[in-house]
Amino acid sequence: MRPKILVIEDNEQNLYLTTFILEKHGYEVIQAREGGEGTRLAGQVEPDLILLDIQLPEMDGYAVAQALRSNPALDGVPIVAVTSYAMVGDRERILAAGCTGYIEKPINPDTFVAQVEEHLLDCTSGRGGEA
């Protein structure tokens, strides 16, 4: 079975590019355009990883991460924020909200999959190192 990645992203261009790259590398992509839909779909499809835009309508990415983390079914699932906020405080806020890590926008098509896979491997090879 192909690994499933849930992409929560409201920008059509980013959603298209992310989906295109991931599908080309053999991943199954499930798309959500806002946080409520993303949270609902996450519970249904049990993705292997979630890519989460931080700037979203309705709920922002921080609220979505917290909602995702409140679902015990998603306990081992990495949540990777995709954000153009590169400031230190935001990084801490992203992690505090329950994300595993983050990838900076604009995404680099040449390195994007490797960046995603870093988080997939971290979590499938055991969570012992996690503080």
Which residues contribute to the site for Mn ion (CB under 5 A)? 10-11, 53, 55
Nearest residue to 59 via CA among 97, 106, 14: 97
The beta strands (E) that lie in the chain are given as 4-8, 28-32, 49-53, 79-83, 101-104
Q: How far is the CB of 90 from Mn ion (least distance, A)?
A: 14
Nearest distance from residue 79's CB to Mn ion, in Å?
Answer: 16
Taking CB positions, which residue lies at the least distance from Mn ion? 55
For Mn ion, give the closer residue by CB, 48 or 53. 53
Among 122, 131, 127, 38, which Cα is nearest to 82's? 38
Is the CB of 57 or the CB of 73 nearer to Mn ion? 57
Q: Minimal distance in Å, beta carbon 130 to Mn ion? A: 28
Q: Which is nearer to Mn ion, 11 or 66 (CB)?
A: 11
Please report, as a single letter, which amino acid is at residue 66.
Q
